[in-house]
Amino acid sequence: MSLTLDIARILLPVVIVGGMAVFVVMRMKYKYKKGTLGKKKTKSAQNLLDSLIPFGMIIGCAVALPLSMFFPISLLSTISWGAGIGLLFGYFAYEIYSKRRESC
């Protein structure tokens, strides 16, 4: 029974974070095929829009590091959770920012 729980504890973050990643990739693929990816008028705004998803992943990993120090969770597990949740939040930020109109 202990071996089964250990295997589940290892695979559960991989499966959940993998599901998040597949969701984001499939949504971006759908938006690309449909031609509705976010476009901004200025180059700097477009660069920010294109960088929101990777920034979300980096911030998720950065938040996960201190959490692994203060809570009894393994470092590898918290980094995978942080990157997955950051990917999801980065995608939502991408969606919100792409819908905003630019001032000027």
DSSP-assigned letter for residue 102: P
Per the CB < 8 A criterion, the answer to whether 83 and 57 are in contact is yes
Mean pLDDT of the chain: 89
Length of the chain: 104
Q: Which whole number is the average pLDDT over 55-63? A: 94
Single out the residue of 96, 85, 97, 81 nearest to residue 24, CA to CA.
85
**Maximum Cα interatomic distance, the chain, rounded to a whole number of Å:** 63
Q: Is the pLDDT of residue 89 over 70?
A: yes
Q: Is the pLDDT of residue 69 over 70?
A: yes
Based on its alpha-carbon atoms, the radius of gyration of the chain, rounded to whole angstroms, reads: 17
Q: What is the C-alpha separation between 33 and 28, in angstroms, rounded?
A: 9
